[in-house]
Amino acid sequence: MNENYENLDKFFKIDLKIKDLILKTRPNEKTYDTSGAIKYVDNLIKELDTIKDYFFWVIDTYNMSPYLKDVINNSINEYNEKLLNSNYDYDRLTRIYEECILKMTVGLENFKKICLDIILIEKKWNLLKNAEQ
């Protein structure tokens, strides 16, 4: 398998991991009390950092604009700030999850489409280049 297909395979695995992390981090009944909410926020911040690393891998692998890293960093920092300013209130944490974290899946789908377009363009370019030789 060539490097492009290996990267594409890893890309889809990362896509699934990110979606799994997003779904697993939904607030639940353990988040009702303060100690549970504190653990939830700490864990979610760690998971957001993991998601950021996955996005960065994709950006680096497909030579995408470094500006995207700034956008992702700013978004993750904003989410972290909202989480830390939630006063560990269950309703606020649920709103933050729905307004920020869950919406990442929509952004992820758009991001995935862009990456796939880049891969297809690269493949077509290589085919054209090889046909000319």
Q: What pLDDT, in 10s, does the model give residues 62-111?
A: 787 888 899 889 999 999 999 999 999 999 999 999 888 888 777 777 77
pLDDT at 1 over 70: no
Considering only CA atoms, which of 26, 5, 8 is closest in space to residue 105? 26
8-state DSSP, 89: -
Distance of CA 22 to the CA centre of its chain: 9
Considering only CA atoms, which of 122, 130, 115 is closest in space to residue 8? 115
- Write down the domain spans for the chain: 3-132
Cβ-Cβ contacts under 8 Å for 25 (sequence gap 6 or more): 43, 44, 47, 97, 101
